[in-house]
Structure 1
Amino acid sequence: MTSTSTGAEDAVFDPERGWRLHHQVAVRPEPFGALLYHFGTRKLSFLKNRTIVDVVNVLSEHPDVRSACRAAGVDDAQQAPYLHALGVLAQSKMLVPQ
């Protein structure tokens, strides 16, 4: 059996490493949060609050996801739902490892 996938595309989401938006993803701010559109896969994702938008927007500026969460005002005890949402975004290829 052969695999045609690359390591970066199939990376398992790990909050201890750095992540960023895929270069083909556009972010459109909305009153409820934001819409993410991936021009490569044509997938659309909804970010349902401003805090997760803030986290996504600062991901590439931090060495790991937990640092990005803290920078967006999410303390360690509150990170679980944000980490879950970011994991879903990574599975849908909206986020890629740095």
Structure 2
Amino acid sequence: MTAPTFDPDQRWRLHPQVAVRPEPFGALLYHFGTRKLSFLKNRTIVEVINSLGDHPDVRSACRAAGVEDSQLSPYLHAMSVLVASNMLIAGEDR
């Protein structure tokens, strides 16, 4: 099974089997289905992940967390890695 293609202009959300544990450095994500562990290395990305359901797409979630368009690249890369590891899944349109 291939991972979905990451599109930052699409709605994404945490997989229902993923738990987020805040840490001083950011957070740990644990997928209970695959038993994969991911590290989020700053609090801004944690804020973005936790607010995905409140925004129509990843870019909007990043902007709401204070990430300027010129700073988007590492955040979009992190999201694409989380999509590839099944930590994030496509969200439903409202």
- Which TM-score band applies after superposition, normalised by the shorter structure? over 0.9
Paired residues in the alignment total 91
Instruction: Show the counterpart of 2:8.
Output: 15
Contact 2:48 2:61 in 1 (8 A): yes
TM-score calculated relative to the size of structure 1: 0.90
Alignment of 1:16-31 (within 5 A): 16-31=9-24
Give the deviation of 1:60 after TM superposition: 1.3
TM-score calculated relative to the size of structure 2: 0.93
Q: How many percent identity over aligned positions?
A: 71
Instruction: Show the counterpart of 1:42.
Output: 35
Quick one: distance in 2 between partners of 1:19 and 1:48? 20
Give the deviation of 1:10 after TM superposition: 2.9
Deviations, residues 57-90 of structure 1 (Å, cap 9, x unaligned): 1111111100000011101111000000010000
The DSSP-based 3-state class of the residue aligned with 2:10 is coil
- The ranges of structure 1 where at least 4 consecutive aligned residues each deviate by more than 2 angstroms after the TM superposition are none
- Computing the radius of gyration from Cα coordinates, the structure with the larger value is 1
Give the deviation of 1:53 after TM superposition: 0.4
Quick one: distance in 2 between partners of 1:27 and 1:17? 22
Quick one: distance in 1 between partners of 2:48 and 2:55? 10
Quick one: distance in 2 between partners of 1:73 and 1:67? 10
Instruction: Show the counterpart of 1:80.
Output: 73
Which amino acid in structure 1 is aligned with residue 12 of structure 2? W
Give the deviation of 1:44 after TM superposition: 0.2
